[in-house]
Homo-oligomer: A and B are copies of this chain.
Amino acid sequence: MENGAIRVVSRAFSILVHLAQERRPLGISEIAESVALPKATVYRILDSLVGERAVMNRGGEYELGPVCLMLADAYRSQTGFAEAARPHLRALRDETKETVHLFAYERGEFYYLDKLESPYQVRMHSRIGAKASLFRLSAGRALLARLSPDEMKELPEPLPGEVASEFPEILSRGFAVDDEQNERGLRCVGAAVFDGSGRPLGAVSVSAPVYRFSSEMVDSYGLLVKRTAEAISKSAETLFPRAGGGERLRAERAGKMKERISSGGAPDER
């Protein structure tokens, strides 16, 4: 699954990801150097991506194109989770005036799913869609603490002992705390989110610089985060009706296959 991959495809994505990281228009030579490929190769791949509207060519410089938006829009509506969480995240952000994050958990993977930013100038930075650390972030540890033994086995790396030792406290409080362990000067509280059948969906967190988020405030923000996570779990229950682990859901989906195929595509695209 890693080296069985098609070479051009991974090359194309390494270019896309590089464009995403730089966040500015780049020339071919520059890209070629960064991704360590010959110019001609980069040129051809970029040309193909332009044809797919995944990148745009703006006067010799390249940047990401609107297809990226289309894919993300579909991704969000397909999970549903992010949309359901939005109003709760907004309430949490407005109450704390700090940056709040939504994380998704998927078979051992953990990543930033959504964020709402603090109005202050100094605030935490993050990249939606990027991988997040289950061990280092408060949101990650809050989730880990409530995983079943079966779910633990899916983790790509073994659980460090010092993380596991925090579980009892996390479970009793209902949220996890990160007191500058991940980054000096940054304090976070996080709580886990589950669906109706108890499957872990992800987590929520509030992050702020210590001078705005004192240790005395940990309990109050922690309670807010915990309540928000519970509220999101509640809305998720209606989204993913109680079911036996997902098998039933899969069967339902499969049943819809034929009718959907014959219904035809959208009129506006391609």
Q: Which residues of chain A have a CB within 8 Å of any CB of chain B?
A: 1-2, 4-6, 8-10, 12-13, 16-17, 19-25, 27, 30, 33-34, 44-45, 47-52, 54, 56, 58-59, 61, 63-78, 104, 106-107, 109, 111-113, 127-133, 246, 250, 253-254, 256-257, 260-261, 265-266, 268-270
The 6 closest A-B pairs by CB, nearest first: A70-B129, A72-B72, A69-B129, A20-B74, A68-B71, A73-B128
Neighbouring B residues of A58 by C-beta, 8 Å: 107
Given the known interface contacts A59-B250, A72-B71, A74-B19, the answer about A268 and B10 at a Cβ–Cβ threshold of 8 Å is no
Given the known interface contacts A1-B51, A16-B71, A71-B16, the answer about A45 and B130 at a Cβ–Cβ threshold of 8 Å is no
State the oligomeric state as a number of copies: 2
CB distance from A217 to the nearest CB of B (A): 26
B67 touches A129 (CB 8 A): yes
B69 touches A76 (CB 8 A): yes
Contact of A127 among B34, B112, B261, B268 (CB under 8 A): B268
- In the complex, A109→B260 CA distance in Å? 29
Neighbouring B residues of A74 by C-beta, 8 Å: 19-21, 23, 64, 68, 127
CB distance from A175 to the nearest CB of B (A): 22
Nearest CB to that of A260 among chain B residues? B22
CB distance from A236 to the nearest CB of B (A): 17
B6 touches A70 (CB 8 A): no
Neighbouring B residues of A51 by C-beta, 8 Å: 1-2, 5, 10
Contact of A75 among B2, B47, B66, B111 (CB under 8 A): B66
Neighbouring B residues of A65 by C-beta, 8 Å: 75
B47 touches A1 (CB 8 A): yes
Can you sample 9 A-B contacts with CB below 8 Å?
A5-B51, A6-B44, A10-B48, A13-B52, A17-B67, A21-B265, A24-B256, A56-B106, A133-B268
Neighbouring B residues of A30 by C-beta, 8 Å: 257, 261
A9 touches B52 (CB 8 A): yes
A129 touches B66 (CB 8 A): yes
